[in-house]
Every structure is written in C-alpha cells, then in structure tokens.
Amino acid sequence: MSIKDKLYAVQLEFRQRSAARSYRSAAAPVVDPRTFAPKKVLFVLSGLIGDSVMSLAAIYEARRLWPESEIKVLGKRHNRELLKGCGYFDEFYECNADPFSLRRSDEVEKLAEWLKNEHFDAAIILLGDQFAHLLARAGIPVRVGVKNTRLEPLLTHTYDIGSPRTWGVKERLGALGCLGYPTANSLPTLYVTDEARLSVQGRLAELGLQTGQNYVVLHPFGSTRRQWWDLNKAADLAAELDGFATIIVGGDKTIFPERPRASLPIVNSTGKLTLPELIAAIDGAALVISTDSGPFHIAGALGKPLVGLFRSRRPEHANQYPSSVVVLGKNEKCMKSCKWDHCQAEPCRQMNDIAVAEVKHAVEERLAAV
C-alpha cells in the first residue's frame, strides 16, 4: 500500500469513528414480527455484482413478508442495471458517491435530503455499511446492518455474516432474521427485460452469432488477476465445445486470444455488452462457464446450468447454487503457503492448474443432467 493510500485509510477510519461517536442513538425500538408492518422500507445495496446478487434474496423475501410496503433500493449505477428486470421493489435511488469521500459532497447531501424527506420506517443495509450515518441523520427509526463495523453504534439492529471470506445468501437473509422473522433458505432471483433480450440479440448477431445458434457463455476473467483462468486454455476449450458457439464475456480492458480452428464461432463480446445485455446473454445460453465473479452469480440466480472455476483456497461460494458443478484448481505449494487473499503469483497457480480436459468433462456432465 502506498503512503497516499495509507493516509487515506487513516483519515477514513478517523472520520467514520467520529461519525459513530457523534450520534447518540435512542434505545432500539422493539420490532414484533407479528405486527410490524412498515409503510416504507429502504434497502442499501451498494456493492460488487457477485455480492449484490447473493444479497437479492433478502429483498425478495421482504416483498413476501411485507406485500403492502413500499420498498426502495439505494445503490450505484451497476446495482441499478443489475435489478432492471426485477419487479419486487418499487424504486431505485442511484448514488455513485461514497458518503465519506472528500469529493462529490453535493451528491451526498442530495442523498441525505432525499432520505430525510422519504420518512422511511426501516432501512436495511445489505451492502454499503458506510451509509449508516446518513440513515441515522435521517431519523429512520429501525436501522439494520452488519455487526462489528465501525458504524455499528449508528444501527438499531445488527446481524452476523461470520467471516467476510465465507458469507453467502443465507448470511444476508440474517438482515431480516435479526428482526425476528423466520426466513426460508431462499435463492437470489434475477429477471431479464424484454428490451435487453432484443438488444443483445442484435449485438451478438453483429459480432457473428447466427440466429438460432446454441451457445455457451465463457467468462475466464475476474475482478482481480487472481481469479483469471489461463486465457489460452480458455480459448482451447472454446474451440472444443462441439455443437455450441461460444460467447466470451468480460470487461472492456480484457483481451481474448483468437482460436480460428473452432468448428463453431467464438464470439468475443468483451467490453461490448451492457450489464442488462450480459444478463440476457447468460439467460439465453445453454450453459455458463465462469470464474468466481459476477457472471457466475448471475447464472446461478437465473438457474442456468453452470460450471464454476475456483481456487481451492477460495471455494466459499462454489456451492451457492444448485445448478452448478465446480472445478477446483489445486496446487500443493499454494495450499501450504498461500494466505487467503494475498496471492503473490499472477496469474494464480491454482487457476492455471485447471486443465481444459477437466472443464470439458464438467461441461459434458452438467449438460447431460439438463
């Protein structure tokens, strides 16, 4: 970490602890799940795509518990795009500024004013602990968030997600459980808009996918290089998927090697799909192959046949979805010396050790079960 980053981290911690100390919360209101019927509820969902997908079950469950409530969601632009087709909430408020950032204070103050004027009965933080002080300032009586954060004193009710390394869908449902509600082991639910379906059909056709052609979505990338699968192996796999075209998905800074010998097209859509179009492309696929990243969780929430590529040192989310089978990269040196998320080798040795034959076998196994 650079000196600049260290200084930023120190001032951020100081400002958050000061915010927590400056607010003297009244006694937490008692919530009786038999009678609690909030008119307006806010969910804070401001996080990465994969984490956001795993948190959706809590919003879906809240709609079941409070069918007459007005449910609103606060998050960033990509969170809004993720939820475009979902009808189990009423409104999305987009805020792309960090509440403790020294920049974009006007956007934060605009959000603070909106929160005050909405008169929410309850606010539940799923992702975005840093918003707790704004919820308190707005006078929202029931404020739910994660235990053991710097801003916990600003909350009225807390839930435990265990280790940041291992939490999943079940732990985020604890946001409702801490209010006394029994919650089923729900799965995240995503939907696709008709607009996105039509748009992605045109986009993929422009890139070389023929109308009516069956395809597999392949995502060998990840938010960090530690999560990437060897791109040459990924290209070799795409060339061997008999009977299927392959749609390569990824961000605009990813480059995928060409493999012209494939019997069916390898369509490189990296950097060319919006998030709603990516969701639609995944929804239309016969199968999805992905690292532990956003597309893996999107496919799981859509119930698509799924093959996950994971580091054996990071298998925590591998079994979140019943539609998936998982291939674990194994490397003895990593198992003995690698810390949880501090890989010193890029690309990761464990991801590199996943063989094309292993993945192809998992694909065939998963397709045979459909």
pTM exceeding 0.75: yes
Q: How far apart are CA 348 and CA 37, in angstroms?
A: 49
Q: 325: pLDDT confidence band, cut at 50, 70 and 90?
A: very high
Instruction: State the CB neighbour count (10 A cutoff) for residue 357.
Output: 11
Q: What is the DSSP letter of 171?
A: H
Q: 25: pLDDT confidence band, cut at 50, 70 and 90?
A: low
Please report the pLDDT score of residue 253 as a whole number.
78
Q: Are 66 and 38 in contact (CB under 8 A)?
A: yes
Please report the pLDDT score of residue 330 as a whole number.
83
Residues in CB range of 184: below 8 A, 6 or more apart:
61
Residue 20 reports pLDDT greater than 70: no
Q: How far apart are CA 43 and CA 134, in angstroms?
A: 13
Domain at 194-368, CATH from 3.40.50.300, 3.40.50.2300, 3.50.50.60, 3.40.50.2000: 3.40.50.2000
Residue 274 reports pLDDT greater than 70: yes
**169, burial (CB in 10 Å: exposed 0-12, middle 13-18, buried 19+):** buried
Are both 19-177 and 194-368 of the same fold? yes
Q: Helix, strand or coil for residue 283?
A: helix
Domain regions of the chain by residue span: 19-177, 194-368
Residue 13 reports pLDDT greater than 90: no
Please report the pLDDT score of residue 295 as a whole number.
97
Please report the pLDDT score of residue 350 as a whole number.
85
Q: How far apart are CA 344 and CA 361, in angstroms?
A: 30
DSSP labels, 172-192: HTHHHHTTT------------
Q: Which of 250, 225, 226 is nearest to 238 (CA)?
A: 250
360 vs 258, residue with greater confidence = 360
pLDDT digits (tens, 9 = 90+) for 213-266: 999 999 999 887 778 898 989 999 998 998 999 999 998 878 787 766 666 788
Q: 164: pLDDT confidence band, cut at 50, 70 and 90?
A: confident
Q: How far apart are CA 307 and CA 323, in angstroms?
A: 9
Residue range 109-121: mean pLDDT, rounded: 97
Strand partners, 328: 310
Residue with tokens 């704004």: 134
Return phi, psi of residue 320, to 5°: -75, -25
Least-confidence region, from 30-34, 50-54, 66-70? 30-34
CATH number of 19-177: 3.40.50.2000
Q: Helix, strand or coil for residue 239?
A: helix
